[in-house]
């Protein structure tokens, strides 16, 4: 019973964050400002919940596109908020990533840390749950944080977590991730 109550409170808190973010259109939704403030060779950190689906795809796809920017591929990483490290990407993620020229077969998850965030100049989130976790655990990192989807604005600023969904949902989500990364690369190249 207490677990359900705790989860319900978290869900309400995330919904409140979503409302505040939509109403404020603040820095975390402002891709132009996020890019403008970056050094010439920025460290980029992609974050999602478990670091097995969205953020590793974004990291590795970004690395394939990096030659169009001044970014050093060794300064690009991904992580998640789930404590368990070393988890593999699920089969639908590996298959959908392959369709985008990305190999996730050898990917192993890592937990976000203060050290990892300190090394990054731009922290990119996938959804409001990630925002809530970052705000709670690493509030200082919010000043250099933006939603990845802000680079490819559409109907929403979030990229849904496909974990546990069917392969078609993974393909749709991975299209959103790669479209946003393409726009990020273009924005970095134009600086």
Three-class DSSP category at 130: helix
Question: Which of 18, 53, 54, 133 is an active site residue?
Answer: 54
Unique residue bearing structure tokens 């404020």:
24
Reply yes or no on whether 48 is catalytic: yes
Q: Record the tokens describing residue 127, joined without a space.
A: 């959804």
- The set of residues, in sequence order, having a beta carbon less than 8 Å from that of 28 and lying 6+ positions away, is 21, 125, 131, 142, 145, 146, 147, 150
Of the candidates 127, 133, 152, 161, the residue annotated as catalytic is 161
Rg (alpha carbons) of the chain, rounded to whole number:
16
Q: Give pairs for 11-15: CB < 8 Å, separation 24+.
A: 13/132, 14/128, 14/129, 14/132, 15/128
Q: Looking at the annotation, which residues are catalytic?
A: 48, 54, 161
């Amino acid at each position: 019973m207490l677990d359900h109550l705790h989860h319900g409170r978290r869900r309400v808190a995330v919904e409140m964050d979503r409302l505040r973010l939509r109403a404020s259109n603040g820095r975390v939704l402002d891709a132009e400002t996020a890019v403008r403030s970056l050094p010439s060779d920025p460290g980029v950190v992609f974050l999602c919940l478990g670091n097995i689906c969205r953020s590793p795809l974004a990291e590795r796809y970004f690395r394939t596109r990096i030659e169009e920017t001044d970014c050093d591929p060794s300064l690009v990483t991904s992580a998640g908020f789930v404590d368990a490290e070393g988890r593999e990407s699920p089969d639908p993620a590996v298959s959908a990533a392959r369709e985008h020229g990305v190999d996730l077969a050898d990917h192993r998850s890592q937990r976000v840390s203060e050290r990892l965030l300190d090394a990054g100049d731009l922290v990119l989130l996938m959804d409001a749950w990630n925002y809530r976790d970052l705000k709670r655990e690493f509030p200082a990192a919010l000043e250099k944080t933006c939603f990845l989807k802000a680079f490819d604005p559409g109907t929403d600023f979030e990229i849904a977590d496909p974990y546990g969904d069917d392969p078609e949902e993974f393909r749709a989500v991975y299209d959103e991730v790669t479209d946003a990364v393409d726009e990020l690369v273009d924005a970095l190249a134009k600086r």
